[in-house]
A and B are shown apart, each in its own frame.
Chain A
Amino acid sequence: MTKLTRRLAAAWLLVALLVVVGAGQLAPHSYDRIFSESPDAQPSKDHLLGTDAVSRDRFSRLIHGTRISLGFAPLGAFLATLVAGCIGALSGLSKPWVDRTLMFSCELFISLPWMFLLISARSLMPLNTTPVASVAITFLLLGLLGWAGPARIVRARTREWLNSDQYLFARSLGISRRRAFLIHLPPVLKPVLLAQFWIAIPVFILGEANLSLVGLGVSDPLPSWGALLRDMNRPEALLETPWIITPLLVLVATLIAVQTVLRTTRSQT
């Protein structure tokens, strides 16, 4: 991987971060403002990416959608990592039957078809859910369903630590089991949890996009990358208005940038 690629990826993520922080200032219009005189307008000086079928500025919606998709994915990833950390560590430290039960539930979660589960869970929510609540529910679901894989890794690291000289030496000094778990174990798990957190972010971005694409994610009028991709559901629309592919390009570019940065960080550690 060239230095230029890494720099481009980092720069792209920096711009994305700026968009997340300053979407309100960067977007020329509000995401739900309707320009009734120009539905399905072509790109122009006023509307850089034209307008959608209900006359909203596509560029402004892309900016606000980026804020929601990129801003909430880390929150979902944080939640998943937190749950994974608690369950994984508990499993690693517990008696064999608790460990077996927790790991069985982990395997059950991993073997379940994620997308189907998300769609089922999301479709159980009332139809009149407010847009803001829909964002919270979507990422909460992603967070709650994404813990199983990381939990197994946390559990393995916890077991490894329990059998290590570090734990043995701490116990030989008279340090209690509880203090060792509370003070000595968390710093040992920190690198594992951080790695799981960063890996979960792109997964959750895609998860949200998939859910919103089938209309079960962030609900209208709030935009998200998945919701914006719904405009591409007619192949002929792509030929007539090719600029509507922009959200997909932004999504793919961001995922590649995240993977590039993660790979660079991993190879350096």
Chain B
Amino acid sequence: MNSAKTPVLDTCLSVSYHNGKQVLSDVRLSIGHGEILGLVGESGSGKSTLALALFNLLDRSRARVTGQIQLNGRDLLNLPEKQMRRVRGSEIALVLQSAGTALNPVLRVGAHLKEAWLAHSNDASKWKQAAASLLERVCLPCDEEFFRRYPSQISVGQAQRLLIAMALLHRPSLLVADEPTSALDAITHAEILALIRELNRDLGLSVLLISHDLLSAASLCSRLAILREGQIVESGAPHRIFAAPEHPYTQRLIAALPPHPLAATLTPEVPIAA
């Protein structure tokens, strides 16, 4: 079942809302063990809907999900809610864009970690032990003073690291990171991307990085998939996509990238051909 050849995630997914709007059409993704796949698309292209669909967390009274979601060879789409709950957090985990909105402002840091631990364990006494090594890995303090703090009393970067630590507490095989750096400043942004790379390398974690930032995704991922209006229009290795984008939308995406601020001074002025 979990052989190295079986992809961690293999999807062929369509999502439509009951008002008839098609949000995702036949989205095929495959992520191997220890691979980081970047899903890049503009706002409204269906990126977050895809993330929710993977967790069976789309409101089924409003959205219709068809196709298949194979996680380590098991189809999640038709899994009863009771079994799906056991999969969430233990086999597939989610990190959201803004830790500020994802963390409950009235629960302390310690309570957040404890709750995440109790989701798949009955032994409440072991949460600190389980969290210790992970907190160290994500460069967060592991002491009572930190556990007593509220989310508003830690920095944005620490809060994002806490989200990642909570998501990885039960060592899932796949991490879905939905715009994990969009709400961060440049330095914290780089730190979080470096952390995801480290976790991928050290723990063998597979990652689906969902982002609208083509450059960040390209810097981190071994493969990119470009999503537009609910369809994958192009996929491949980052260097191939940057060197020879095939789809007009990908070409526009690359053309829209801001030039390097020093580009004008570094490159000699060349008269533009008429």
B190: min CB distance to chain A, Å: 23
Question: Total interface residues on B, using CB and 8 Å?
Answer: 31
In this complex, what residue of B is CB-closest to A189?
Answer: B106
Asked if A173 contacts B166 (CB within 8 A), the reply is yes
Q: A174-B86, A175-B115, A175-B119 are contacts. A169–B106 as well, Cβ < 8 Å? A: no
A187 CA to B103 CA in the complex, in Å? 13
Asked if A187 contacts B57 (CB within 8 A), the reply is no
* CB contact list, B165-179 vs A, under 8 A: 166-167, 169-170
A168 CA to B97 CA in the complex, in Å? 12
B29: min CB distance to chain A, Å: 18
Question: Number of residue pairs across A and B with beta carbons under 8 Å?
Answer: 72
A165 CA to B159 CA in the complex, in Å? 14
Interface size class of A (residues with CB under 8 A): 10 to 19
A261 CA to B96 CA in the complex, in Å? 40
One digit per residue, 1 when the CB lies within 8 angstroms of any chain A CB and 0 when it does not, for chain B 156-170 equals 000000010011011
| Interface check A183, CB cutoff 8 A | yes
Asked if A184 contacts B90 (CB within 8 A), the reply is no
In this complex, what residue of B is CB-closest to A161?
Answer: B104
One digit per residue, 1 when the CB lies within 8 angstroms of any chain B CB and 0 when it does not, for chain A 73-99 equals 000000000000000000000001000
A164 partner residues in chain B, CB cutoff 8 A: 101
In this complex, what residue of B is CB-closest to A166?
Answer: B104
| Interface check B203, CB cutoff 8 A | no
- Would you mind naming 5 contact pairs between A and B with Cβ atoms under 8 Å apart? A96-B61, A169-B103, A172-B93, A173-B166, A179-B119
Give me the interface of B with A, judged by CB distance under 8 Å. 52, 55, 57, 61, 85-90, 93-94, 96-98, 101-104, 106-107, 115-116, 118-120, 163, 166-167, 169-170
Give me the interface of A with B, judged by CB distance under 8 Å. 96, 164-166, 168-176, 179, 183-184, 187-188, 190
